[in-house]
Amino acid sequence: MHYYIAVVHQEGDSAFGVHFPDVPGCFSAADDMNDLLANASEALALHLEGEDLPEARSLDAVRADSDVARDLAEGAFLLAVPFIQLSGRTTKANITMDAGLLSAVDQYAKAHGLTRSAFLADLARREIAS
């Protein structure tokens, strides 16, 4: 899996802001630290959709960047964010699970206006990015 290093900022009670030194123009935010990784991964996927992938520097190389070093000195921190390349096409997959669990998945998805596939795909993306 491909990872990009993100710089995470927060001032006071504000949301967490995220930017990627190796992906200019790609930004994300999250009100809760628990949502940082998933939101940042989604921002990367959307920003880089259909684009050539920029080179991802190593953690040490990003840390040595003077702008990043300044951010870190001001209280920012770094986060390795997985890049999940969306193809824009769907493919059918056959899965096996307990019938009771599948029923619970279907009930949850329906209650939230989702299909089973949409719910499972979103869950998988969030788990991979957390």
Beta strand segments in 1-130, E: 2-9, 16-19, 27-30, 77-83
Terminal alpha carbon distance of the chain = 14
**pLDDT number for residue 1:** 73
Domain membership flag for residue 119 = yes
Q: Tell me the pLDDT tens digit for each residue of 66-92.
A: 999 999 999 999 999 999 887 777 888
Phi/psi of residue 61, nearest 5 degrees: -65, -40
Asked whether residue 69 falls in the same domain as residue 110, the answer is: no
* Per-residue pLDDT in tens (0 to 9) along the chain, 130 residues: 789 999 999 988 889 999 999 999 999 999 999 889 989 998 998 999 888 999 999 999 999 999 999 999 999 999 999 998 877 778 888 999 999 999 999 999 899 898 898 889 888 877 777 6
Asked whether residue 73 falls in the same domain as residue 120, the answer is: no
Domain membership flag for residue 116 = yes
The boundaries of the domain holding residue 14 are 2-83
CA dihedral 93, 96, 100, 104 (to 10 degrees): -30
**pLDDT number for residue 122:** 80
Q: In total, how many domains does the chain have? A: 2
**pLDDT number for residue 85:** 80
Q: Which residue stretches of 7-88 are H helix?
A: 36-47, 59-64, 66-73
Asked whether residue 16 falls in the same domain as residue 52, the answer is: yes
CATH number at residue 78: 3.30.160.250
Q: In which element (H, E) is residue 108 found?
A: helix 99-111
